[in-house]
Amino acid sequence: MSKPDNREDNVAHLQKAVQNTIENFREAESYLNEFSNEISASEKAQILEKNQRRKKSIDGFREEIKDEANHQLEE
């Protein structure tokens, strides 16, 4: 038997995911600022691409947070 859908803490989980992703984004930017002259072009490109994906993830998480908050208001 499956568990009922408990969405009470989804917003908190999503907010934590946003915070973690922002932290990782900032750490990557700091790394690039400090070591960009010492790393290969391909490593730099990989970090930049990953940060682009992080930006998209953050936007997606924020949309999910809005959806979850609206869902909780409807209940």
Stretch among 1-15, 19-33, 44-58 having the lowest mean pLDDT = 1-15
* pTM (2 d.p.): 0.83
Instruction: Select the more confidently predicted residue: 71 or 37.
Output: 37
Instruction: Select the more confidently predicted residue: 71 or 23.
Output: 23
Which residue blocks in the chain are alpha helix, DSSP H?
10-35, 41-74
Instruction: Select the more confidently predicted residue: 16 or 73.
Output: 16
Task: Give me the sign of the Cα torsion angle 49, 29, 61, 16.
Answer: positive
pLDDT for residue 9? 84
State yes or no: pLDDT of 8 exceeds 80: no
